[in-house]
Amino acid sequence: MTSLQPQPSVWRRTAVPADLVTVLPDLLKSVGALRIELIYLQRPPSLHTGDLTPRADELIRAARIDYRARGYGFWDSLLTAAVDADDVTRRGLLSRATQHNAAPPRAVPVGTFTAELRQGAYFGLPARDMVSLSSRVETADGSGHLAMLDFSVPHSSCADDIAIEVATTLNIHGGYLLRSGTSYHLLGDYLLSWDASIDLIARAQLLSPLIDHRWAAHQLIDRFCALRISTDDSRHPTTHTLVASTHAP
């Protein structure tokens, strides 16, 4: 039996600092985008102690300790512990875990979006406000979806290499990999059908916990992908920074 040989990566670390103000206009131009969609969302309050039961409070505290130690996996830790909880606690946690917060996308001409981006309209928002770019893009030839992935693994020099290897393993043959503040966002520079996007999301979940599997689930519910492009004055104060791309020299 012949073993499969790994394909050489087309991804290269960038030698020139860049952020979304540089990356997004170039990406949208490369796919011929005429209109994009933005999602304006206010994040619901996080799950806190006092929301459910005293036993839930204990589990939440333990899950937060685990999350701070690893940098990801709060709900994984919490739901694993909930197996042995009482019925009321368990049902309450399951209900919160399956909540889906959605907002209707707003179609925006690319020229308007890029002008607002360069003016800083999406940076320094109030603490719980968030603006995300939808994968859906309209071109002169119709519409399609940008390849998108949200990672869970905390960013670091070593994790940069892992994230590049993930993009290579999933055969994402063009795009940009950025540090998102705590982890990574990947934006492909080509369009897919939604069926092809589903295939990418499904295969990416096989690489959990490197990939955020809860993000993946929410995208499947919405039937489009979205990645945050905004910063705020609390949870996401740092703008995206480019780590690697298929365009790097």
pTM: 0.90
Task: Output the six-digit token pair for 33.
Answer: 């985008």
Residues 233 and 111 in one domain: yes
Query: In 3D, which of 211, 22, 228 has the Cα closest to residue 122?
Result: 228
Domain that holds residue 127: 12-43+103-245
Report which residue type is found at 204.
A
Residues 130 and 222 in one domain: yes
* Last residue within a domain, chosen from 97, 131, 160: 97
Please check whether residue 6 lies inside any domain of the structure: no
Please check whether residue 48 lies inside any domain of the structure: no
Give ∠ CA 112-114-120 in degrees, rounded to 5.
105
Residues 26 and 60 in one domain: no
Please check whether residue 158 lies inside any domain of the structure: yes
- Residue 12 DSSP SS3: strand
How far is Cα of residue 23 from the mean position of the Cα atoms in its chain? 16
Are 18 and 240 within 8 A, CB to CB? no
114-143: per-residue pLDDT in tens?
999 999 999 999 988 999 999 999 999 999
Residues 24 and 129 in one domain: yes
Q: How far apart are CA 22 and CA 24, in angstroms?
A: 6
Dihedrals phi, psi of 20, to nearest 5 degrees: -65, -30
Q: How far apart are CA 148 and CA 204, in angstroms?
A: 10
Residues 184 and 140 in one domain: yes
Contacts of 104 (CB under 8 A, 6+ apart): 39
Residues 23 and 89 in one domain: no
Report the Cα–Cα distance between both ends of the chain, in Å, rounded.
37
User: Out of 2-6, 119-123, 157-161, 227-231, which region has the weakest mean confidence (pLDDT)?
Assistant: 2-6
Please check whether residue 154 lies inside any domain of the structure: yes
Average pLDDT value over all residues in the chain: 92
Residues 186 and 75 in one domain: no
Please check whether residue 1 lies inside any domain of the structure: no
Please check whether residue 141 lies inside any domain of the structure: yes
Report the number of distinct structural domains present in the chain.
Answer: 2
Please check whether residue 4 lies inside any domain of the structure: no
Q: How far apart are CA 26 and CA 114, in angstroms?
A: 10
Given a cut of 50, whether residue 207 has pLDDT beyond it is yes
Residues 114 and 174 in one domain: yes
User: Out of 45-54, 106-115, 133-142, 155-164, which region has the weakest mean confidence (pLDDT)?
Assistant: 45-54
Q: How far apart are CA 239 and CA 229, in angstroms?
A: 8
